[in-house]
A and B are shown apart, each in its own frame.
Chain A
Amino acid sequence: MAGPLADPGLPALDAPATIWRRLSGNLSVAVAGGVLTVLAGVSLLAPVLGTIDPGLLDPVNRDLLPGASAEVLSLTGESTAHTFWMGSDSYGRDIYSRVLYGGRVSLLVGAVVATLSVAAGMAIGLVSGFVRWLDGLVMRVMDGLMAIPGILLAIALVSLWRASLLTVIVAITIPEIPRVTRLVRSLVLSIREEPYIEAALAVGTRTAPLLVRHVLPNTLAPLIVQATYIAASAILVESILSFLGVGLPTDVPTWGNIMAEGRLQFNQYPHNVFFPGVLLALTVLAVNLLGDGLRDTLDPKFNKRGVRPA
């Protein structure tokens, strides 16, 4: 009944080249992406960046302040001079080395949890959004899962299974799935109402190709944004688990572990908590900024109705 409608002017995700150009032009994405690349690189290249064995117990060199140099006796009996850039902990382990290796765990957990939870959530959400009778059941289960605060669920799960990288990842993933499912489902429900879906049905498109050709591409952008936020949250949760003593075993250095051990001497030697803490905050900040930037470029005004209205 309305008069001439104004053009919604959706951003077109046409050529990959355009997407790339737009992404790299966004400040948040560029800076955050850069920082994360550096962090990832540093973690991966840890062995060649002046580190020693992060698990090497060396009581002689304990509680050194940041910047101190000392002689380190390796397992093979060699003695080398080594600078403890970030000091050492109460067992004499080099904080710098531990922090660098610890980065691997955090980044890995973040990436894997994000991928797994989005994949699972997408599958369940798509089905739920399209198969009406299943929808009610699935949503009740998801609501129930969401009612249990994520960290508590993760803590309980890890404490019940043997603490290992795999269990930590799975324990952190499970509470994230309901939220992704909700998002996908609401996306599917709103996209389903779009006129172009009806138009595709009118030219005889079957359900499966409909999902792949028309529904999926319009859900990708918000899912990618959500995935980055999940990664940030996963890194935080992992560090909390480690900090509370219910995460990975202490022989695997993670930022949370290092802080957990360091907290006992926080008064005198704050560097134990300070360095991993700052790096943790920096990493999570970078991931969050990346998510913000992605959201602004890929999905400027994503609202409940799915497509930006006129």
Chain B
Amino acid sequence: MNTNRYLAEYVTLFTVVVVLALVPLGLGGSAYYLRLGTMMLIYMIYTVAFNIIFGHTRQLFLCVGALAGCSAYISVVLVMRMSLSPWASIPVGIVSAAVLGGVFSYVAVRRGLGVIFVGIVTLVSSMIFGNLILGLRAWTNGETGIETRGLRPDALAPGLTSYYVILGVLMLSLVFYHLLMRSRAGTAFRAIADDEFAAELAGIDVTMYKVLAATVGSALIGAAGAVYAYYSGYINPTVYGLVSVDIAVLVTLLLGGMGTLLGPVIGSVLFAVLDEVVRPLGGLNVLVYGVLMIILVITFRHGLVAMLRKLTKVRIP
């Protein structure tokens, strides 16, 4: 096996884990910044997943928040009502998200829905989810939300341990992403993203690969969503809403670079920094995101990784 082929990827993965592992040390013990860092890791996982679903197979799933929320609420409610252990209920959440995502994808492919219609259907589904949570008040406490502080395992309480646990989950997803992309599925994804029709003609089972990407991505989203529910100590529909999750993930992926390994990572770091910078502006942060989105989408369409590749002439993964 020619390891040199993936040397760049291995180096990148190693650098990422080392840098991210060292971050808490540079934070001077501030609990606030540690929390920010952990949130950043969660959003990184979301973005890696969205990268698989949208970056690689062009399925515009504007329901990342809803999928995460689904997994989170199912897991939390199971713990609350059925006294399940969180470690047992999180997998249930993950599976539900994966199944939902896979079903969306399957139906969309079978009906021949284009990118835009997938976007619209998933957008509307996000709205349905939000209203379901609000409506099923008996189970979910509706708008008031649920306190998960008493339900969570110690490993997920805010602090250094949870940071490294979540970092572990992130690294698992990055490694998984790498392995996925270098497998036959990865080649199929590239073909599908390039020209779906041609891929079909070339004999690639487009349906299977798209559903695979959606299922796997949704599972990751479910994992991050459920873990976040326990870590943050409190969930409500807004936390998993379009503005909180989907927009952030979209901007992050565009910023970092679709279809790359490093893209979600750099994008998330930048976005986290930006978020902090913009926070004192209060209500204006939405405006800044909007401006950023427009600029990114028009001029910077391929993201930072692509730009770095051009500048350094190195094939950054």
Decide whether A and B are members of one complex.
no
